[in-house]
Amino acid sequence: MYKLLLTTATIGALATTALAQSAADTAKARRAFFSLIGYEMGTLGAMAQGKMDYDAEAASAAATDMVALTKYTMSDLFAPGTSTEDVSGETRALPAIWEDMSGFQAKGEDFTAALMELNAVAGDGLDALRPAVGKLGGTCKACHDDYRAKSF
């Protein structure tokens, strides 16, 4: 299975790993990663909501791009010392991520599973796309509700 966002081994190693970049640079890179996820999700969401005509090729490409992003090793982007308490104004990542890493990882696993389901049906028509996008969006919301501040 794809190693989405965070694996136990890589995150566990963070406790002893020093930041290769500044905390602000790490937060900036993390935001950039999630901007890419959001960009692809924007295409899929617009199709699912009827704001954009369904295009099987574009839907498949967006889902495939998101799957490719799940292969990115995220451990350095979630280095300790990069929460809202550490770099205020640079991130919306709540300290709860590091306080409840197993819960955060479970949300990442839910995202990966929903994304794999979406990827399998993205090119199969709007009726297949809509519920898959809804499910994926629900995993995003669940994580945001617990681990992301509403604003900087």
Q: Set out the domains of the chain in order of their start, with CATH numbers.
A: 8-14+22-147 (1.20.120.10)
Residue 60 has a pLDDT of 98
Count other C-beta atoms under 10 Å from residue 23's C-beta.
17
Residue 71 has a pLDDT of 94
Residue 10 has a pLDDT of 46
DSSP 55-110: -HHHHHHHHHHHHHHTTS--GGGG-TT-STTTSTTT--B-THHHHTHHHHHHHHHH
Residue 18 has a pLDDT of 53
- Report the distance separating Cα 60 and Cα 100, nearest Å: 34
- Report if pTM > 0.85: yes
- Looking at residue 20, what DSSP letter applies? S
- Report the distance separating Cα 128 and Cα 136, nearest Å: 13
Residue 20 has a pLDDT of 73
For the chain, residues with pLDDT lower than 50 are 1-3, 5-10, 12-16
SS3 148: strand
Whether the CA torsion 53, 57, 112, 4 is positive or negative: it is negative
SS3 123: coil
